[in-house]
Chains A and B, each alone.
Chain A
Amino acid sequence: DAEITQSPRHKITETGRQVTLACHQTWNHNNMFWYRQDLGHGLRLIHYSYGVQDTNKGEVSDGYSVSRSNTEDLPLTLESAASSQTSVYFCASSESVAGEQFFGPGTRLTVL
């Protein structure tokens, strides 16, 4: 069955380190998204991509970057982790730009 996976599921890192969170989907969806979820804020869009070599900034993109070299993967990189980036990160994909989004299981990141 097609699915969307994220790794690692949990990570603890130190301030200033570079961190990459992986997202892999097997639906062959062109559209992929990264969100963070924090208490009191709900889900907020970090970056999104409509296809290979396409990346766009979302509402809270500062301190994050993405790259899209193939259809299946959209890794999220924290260039220099900060304590404010402690959060749960969800990756999602959709078949059409306006269609329902399918979410991965999430990565809980703690920055000490």
Chain B
Amino acid sequence: GQNIDQPTEMTATEGAIVQINCTYQTSGFNGLFWYQQHAGEAPTFLSYNVLDGLEEKGRFSSFLSRSKGYSYLLLKELQMKDSASYLCAVAYSGAGSYQLTFGKGTKLSVIP
């Protein structure tokens, strides 16, 4: 089976930097996604990593270490609108199928 762990909640200050970690155990690993979900809304895509290393996209960066089963999402220059849940999703393939398994999400609260 697939197992994904990420912290349940985090709080950070406006303007600061926050790192949200995700660890996973899976077979047939085929990449890792990060999604953002505001309360009452649909998840929206943030990033995708399939190779080790850091992917930067504006204020958001995502890192992957496949050997350690570890990823993090880095949010810089936090804004109040960044208050949301952040979902780590591991892609895996096998027996002709390709699926995402989502973690339970990390609820980030940005305070003034």
Q: Which of A53-105 contact B (CB under 8 A)?
A: 56, 58-59, 90, 97-98, 100-105
Of the A-B pairs whose beta carbons lie under 8 Å apart in the complex, a sample of 8, sorted by A's number, is: A42-B104, A43-B87, A90-B43, A97-B98, A98-B91, A98-B93, A103-B42, A105-B42
Contacts of B105 in A (CB 8 A): 42
Q: Which of A32-47 contact B (CB under 8 A)?
A: 35, 40-45
- Contact (Cβ within 8 A) A48 B42: no
Report the minimal beta-carbon distance from A34 to chain B, rounded to whole angstroms: 12
> 6 tightest CB-CB pairs across the interface, nearest first?
A103-B42, A43-B102, A42-B104, A100-B45, A42-B102, A97-B98
Count chain A residues whose beta carbon lies closer than 8 angstroms to a beta carbon of B.
21
Contacts of A97 in B (CB 8 A): 98
Besides A42-B87, A43-B87, A106-B41, 17 other CB < 8 A contacts? A40-B104, A42-B102, A42-B103, A42-B105, A43-B43, A44-B102, A48-B99, A59-B101, A98-B30, A98-B31, A98-B98, A100-B33, A100-B45, A101-B45, A101-B100, A103-B42, A104-B42
